[in-house]
Structure formats: C-alpha cells, structure tokens
Amino acid sequence: MDFTRNGFRIVDATVIARLRIALNELRIIGRRLRILLDGEAKAMEMQIQYRTRGVFKWAPRLETWLKMEGYKFWLGTVQHSLESYACPIVEVGSRRSSG
C-alpha cells in the first residue's frame, strides 16, 4: 500500500490495518454525506412544488417531515436506490435523436 509522500511503502501490518479502517470510515461518512445532501436537495424541491400547489394546506405534517434530518436522509437513500436500479442502456433525462 502506498500511503506516503516519499514513495516508501508501509509494510507494518498493524499500521496498514488501522489505515484501512480509517479509510473505510471516511468512505462511509462520504457516502452518508452525499445521501444527506441529495435528500436535502429533494426536500427543497418538494417544498417549493408542494407550497406552490397547496399540498401543505391539506397535509401540514409533510412540511414538518421535509425539515427533519432523518426524512431527508431517507429521501436521499431513495434517490440513490432509484439511480442504482436505472437501466444503464436508457439515459434518463436526455433525449436521443434518431437519424
């Protein structure tokens, strides 16, 4: 594993094991943050659309949910799940011209 600036290799198994744990933690935190940010974006989009359409008048609790971190995380998780199940052949959101 090459973790040093000088080009030397780390060969101590204990150090390598601890570095792997730390890097995995950072990867998990990074993924969680991306999911939360995507959920934040979706919640903001929903707030704008629902306020414009008057949805909060008949579903006021939904406005409260859209402000909760747990709900935003759930929205981000759903977004990521939908992206992972998308068909790789069909490009979502783009138009292909035939000809």
Residue 77 inside a domain? The answer is yes
Report whether pLDDT(2) > 70.
Answer: no
Are residues 1 and 9 in contact, defined by beta-carbon separation less than 8 angstroms? yes
Residue 17 inside a domain? The answer is no
pLDDT at site 85: 65
| Per-residue pLDDT tens digits for 18-76 | 777 777 777 777 788 888 888 889 899 999 999 999 999 999 999 999 999 999 999 99
- Report yes or no on whether pTM surpasses 0.75: no
Residue 25 inside a domain? The answer is no
Structural domain that includes position 50:
32-85
Residue 49 inside a domain? The answer is yes
Separation between Cα atoms, residue 96 and residue 99, nearest integer Å: 9
Total domains in the fold of the chain: 1
pLDDT at site 68: 92
Are residues 79 and 39 in contact, defined by beta-carbon separation less than 8 angstroms? yes
Residue 17 binned pLDDT confidence (cut-offs 50, 70, 90): confident
